Amino acid sequence: MVTTFSKPSSLVHEIHLEKVGSWNLFKFNESLQLRMEDLLQKKKSDQITIEEIAELDAIGELDRIFTHINAMLAAQDANQ
């Protein structure tokens, strides 16, 4: 995958709902998860390009958003 992204919203087609226990959680599909791991490895080894940094930033932002939403859903479920 060489495509770069500048906005997290361009990645929404890479998200799916997954049943985890009794919860439906937002998750990255396998290709986006693998891409994020690849970019993190490149960053760690200092071999990441400027375009890939922007892509990693977009994926990271989306990851933070969905982590927050999943936490809110879990908290709401725990309070019921």
pLDDT band of 4, cuts 50, 70, 90: low
Local confidence band at 3 (pLDDT 50, 70, 90 cut-offs): low
Model's pTM, two decimal places?
Answer: 0.82
H or E segment at 16? strand 15-20
Q: Do 54 and 3 form a contact (C-beta atoms < 8 A)? A: no
Query: Tell me: the pLDDT tens digits for 32-48?
Result: 999 999 999 999 999 99
Residue 2 has pLDDT above 80, yes or no: no
Q: What is the mean pLDDT of the chain?
A: 89
What number of residues does the chain have? 80
